[in-house]
Amino acid sequence: MCTLEKRGNLFILTFTGEDQHRFNPNVIGSLLSLLSQVKAEATRGSALITQAQGKFFSNGFDLDWAQAAGSEQGAAERLHHMVDLFKPVIAALLSLPMPTVAAITGHAAAGGFALALSHDYLIMRKDRGVLYMSEVDIALTIPDYFNALFREKIGDATVRRDFLLRGLKMKGDEAEKRGVVEAAYGGEAEVRQASLRLAENLGKRKWHGEVYAEIRKGLYPQLSAILGLTHKAYNIARL
Amino acid sequence: MCSLEKRGNLFILTLTGQNVEHRLNPEVLSSIISALSRAKAESTRGSALVTVSHGKFFCNGFDLDWVNATGSKQEAQQRFDYSLDCLTQLVQAFISLPMPTVAAVNGHAAAAGVVIPLCHDYVVMRRDRGVLYVNDLEMGLKIPELYMAFFRAKTSGWALRDLVLRGLKIKGEELLKMGIMDAVYDGEEGVINAGMKMADDLARRKWDGEVYAEIRKGLYSEFCGMLGIASKAIGTPKL
pLDDT score for A236: 44
Give CA–CA dist B115/A182, Å, rounded: 26
The verdict on A176 touching B (C-beta cutoff 8 Å) is no
pLDDT digit string, tens, across residues A198-224: 999 999 999 999 999 999 999 999 999
Q: Structural domain boundaries of chain A? A: 2-227
Q: How far apart, in whole angstroms, are the C-alpha atoms of residue A130 and residue B84?
A: 45
Inform me whether the pLDDT recorded for A123 exceeds 90.
yes
Chain B: residues touching A (Cβ < 8 Å) = 64, 67-68, 76-77, 80, 136-143, 145, 148-149, 152, 155-161, 164-165, 167
A2-227, what's its fold? 2-enoyl-CoA Hydratase; Chain A, domain 1 (3.90.226)
User: Mean pLDDT in runs of 10 for chain B (239 residues)?
Assistant: 94 91 95 97 96 95 94 93 96 96 97 96 95 95 94 93 97 94 96 97 92 90 90 73
Instruction: For residue B133, give the H/E element and its range.
Output: strand B131-133
What local confidence, expressed as pLDDT, does residue B238 receive? 67
Identify which of A90, A120, A181 has the alpha carbon closest to the alpha carbon of residue B137: A120
The alpha carbon of residue B41 is apart from the nearest alpha carbon of chain A, in Å, by: 36
Provide the mean pLDDT of chain A.
94
Helix or strand or coil: residue B132? Answer: strand
Q: Which residues contact A99 (CB under 8 A, 6 or more apart)?
A: A47, A48, A120, A121, A199, A202, A203, A207, A212
CB B195 within 8 A of CB B124: yes
CATH number for the B2-227 domain, one of 3.40.50.80, 3.40.640.10, 3.90.226.10, 1.10.10.10? 3.90.226.10
Q: A8 and chain B: CB distance < 8 Å anywhere?
A: no
Q: How would residue A231 be classed by pLDDT, with cut points 50, 70 and 90?
A: low
ipTM above 0.85, yes or no: no
**A57-80, pLDDT tens digit by residue?**
999 999 999 999 999 999 999 999
* Chain B residues whose beta carbon lies within 8 Å of the beta carbon of residue A179: 157-159
Q: Which residues of chain A neighbour B155 with C-beta distances below 8 Å?
A: 155
pLDDT at A157: 87
Predicted local confidence at residue A186, as pLDDT = 95
Task: Report whether A83 contacts A30 (CB < 8 A).
Answer: no
Whether the CB of A39 is below 8 Å from some CB of chain B: the reply is no
Q: Do B140 and A182 touch (CB under 8 A)?
A: no
Cα torsion angle, A88, A94, A95, A96, sign:
positive
* pLDDT of A238 strictly over 50: no
Q: Which residues of B touch A154 (CB under 8 A)?
A: 157
Q: What is the pLDDT of residues A127-142, one digit of tens each?
A: 999 999 999 888 888 9
Q: State residue A235's pLDDT score.
A: 47
The residue ranges of every structural domain in chain B are: 2-227
Chain A residues in contact with B140 by the CB 8 A cut-off are 208, 211, 236-238
**How many Å lie between the alpha carbon of A229 and the closest alpha carbon of chain B?**
14
Q: Return the minimum-mean-pLDDT range out of A114-123, A226-235, B106-115, B194-203.
A: A226-235
pLDDT surpassing 90 at residue A25: yes
CB count, 10 Å around CB of B95?
22
Question: Do B139 and A215 make contact, defined as CB atoms within 8 angstroms?
Answer: no
Q: What is the pTM of this model?
A: 0.87
Chain B interface, mutation test: which of A201, A235, A238, most B Cβ atoms within 10 Å? A235
CB contact under 8 A, B157 and A179: yes
Identify the CA nearest to A164 among candidates A142, A186, A191, A139: A142
* Res B61: pLDDT: 94
The pLDDT value given to residue A139: 84
pLDDT digits (tens, 9 = 90+) for A86-112: 999 999 999 999 999 999 999 999 999
